[in-house]
Structure 1
Amino acid sequence: MESEMDWRQWHAPYDDPESALSRRLEAVKAQVRAALDRAPDGPVPVVSLCAGQGRDLIEVLADHPRRDDVRARLVELHPELAESARERSRGLDQVEVRTGDASLTDQYDGMVPAELVLLCGIFGNITSDDIRRTIHAAPQFCRTGATVIWTRHRGAPDLVPAISEWFEARGFEQVWLSDRDSGFGVGVHRFTGVPQPLVTGQSLFSFVPGGA
């Protein structure tokens, strides 16, 4: 679950095209587009944990040729951010925005295994143990060949290399990683293993103050 924090203020830099968060968003959107481009024929289930305003997925779906194949569930605890995501997704009936605790595995029952899993804005706000716990559970969210897109700041301690290794240990191969000098960390991993059944009743992480 999330700690008390002004998440509206945290999202404000997205409106500044020169901010690091805005540039990171563009990198994530490019990888979302690439993941949808390579998705196999048929339905494309997508889940987004701590989805915020949903910009990373919704802005790509606006003009993507696979938009009608996508069925998405965005989970966001903050009511105002969730409402903003609903407004942004107006006209995209296949996008469900759920107001709730994204750390709870029950939120994704009926939507996983998915083709695309978004873990953006999470790993910079939780402990390293919770990052490990979330990655350990990732095979419950992914069908074989699925793409996971995640973010983490590059400040000390720089856990980006370790996060990549933790994903690889769980049956994922690295597809793309942002440059060290970009000022942000965006990683893309593809699941090559066998999906695991979703274990409901679990809480994967709790937010801590600070991070990005």
Structure 2
Amino acid sequence: MTRDWVSWHDDYDRPGSSLGRRLAVVQGAVRAALDAGAERVVSLCAGQGRDLLPVLAAHPRRGRVRARLVELDERNARLAEERAPAGVEVVRGDAALTDAYAGAVPADLVLVCGLFGNLSDADVRRTVSALPQLCAPGATVVWTRHTREPDLVPSICAWFEETGFEETGFDRVSLETAEFGVGVHRYAGPPTPLRRGERMFTFLPGGSRAQESPR
């Protein structure tokens, strides 16, 4: 059965929801990166852009930020585009393909939220290893992953470290119904050129994305 990707976002608007709590943590990390000077932003599987757009709209440096949000679902992409301020480009396309980021990277802030819980472990590792292509030296990556058993978060943190990243923050969002991790890593490696024509990940069959959360 085809999932309704738009309705996935509804839990964000329910008071006290775990997704609303997780969103607040993500937005706090985004705000901190903008405060620190991030001006180029890319968001993978951006959905309606809720991780970035509300924060950017209220930020005093919003006029200096250039962002690209990549989202495959047409309705979500359209909603993001309607809310996007000047300087934010919404691209309807496959966020797994490196070509989607040509001209927008290297970025100072890379958002990988609501993604890792819907990939095989091997594809999570492959995606982490590809992230330096999207990052300027010193860039911040904000990512999320549910922490249900088997908890992949320790492995993800290790993969980031192996790839040249330093952990700068990690928060667990815990309620009775769900537990999510929100990680923040800084890219400490050298400039890495974008390799066009590569696929970073493939979604697991059966719409398992529901196990993670919308953006």
In the alignment, the residues of structure 1 paired with residue 198 and residue 186 of structure 2 have an alpha-carbon distance, to the nearest angstrom, of 24
Cα deviation code 1:181-203 (max 9, x no counterpart):
46211000000110211001011
Please tell me whether the aligned partners of residues 176 and 189 of structure 1 are also in contact (alpha carbons under 8 angstroms): yes
TM-score of the two chains, using structure 1 as the length reference: 0.93
**1:145 paired residue number:** 138
1:28 is matched with which residue: 26, 29, 41? 26
Match 1:205 to one of 195, 201, 206: 201
- Which residue of structure 1 aligns with residue 36 of structure 2? 38
Hey, what's the Cα distance between the residues in 2 that align with 1:159 and 1:58?
Answer: 29
Give the TM-score of the pair, scaled to structure 2: 0.91
- Cross-structure match for 1:121: 114
Shift of the alpha carbon at 1:110?
0.9
Q: Which segments of 5 or more consecutive residues in structure 2 lack a partner in the other structure?
A: none
Percent identity over paired residues = 56
- Which residue is 2:152 aligned to? 159
SS in 2 for 1:39: coil
The one-letter code of the counterpart of 2:9 is: H
Aligned match of 1:104 in 76, 87, 97?
Answer: 97
Name the residue aligned to 1:67. Answer: 62
SS of 1:25's equivalent? helix
State the one-letter code of the partner of 2:65.
Answer: V
Q: 1:34 to 1:139 in 2, by over 3 A?
A: same
CA RMSD of aligned residues (A): 1.4
CA contact 2:21–2:173 (8 Å) conserved in 1: no
- Write the letter of the residue equivalent to 1:30: G
**Hey, what does 2:79 align to over in structure 1?**
84
CA contact (8 A) 1:50 1:122 kept: yes
Which residue number corresponds to residue 9 of structure 2? 11
Structure 2 CA distance for aligned equivalents of residues 152 and 78 of structure 1: 21
After superposing the two structures, state which structure 1 stretch, 10-19 or 135-144, moved more.
10-19
How does 1:174-193 map onto structure 2 within 5 Å?
Answer: 174-179=167-172, 181=174, 183-193=179-189
User: 5+ unaligned residues in a row in structure 1: which ranges?
Assistant: none
Q: Deviations over 1:65-123 (max 9, x none)?
A: 1111110000000000001101121xx11000011111010010011110000000100
The worse-fitting range, judged by mean Cα deviation, of 172-181 and 14-23 is 172-181
Question: For this pair of structures, how many residues does the alignment match?
Answer: 205
CA contact (8 A) 1:77 1:99 kept: yes
CA contact 1:154–1:180 (8 Å) conserved in 2: no
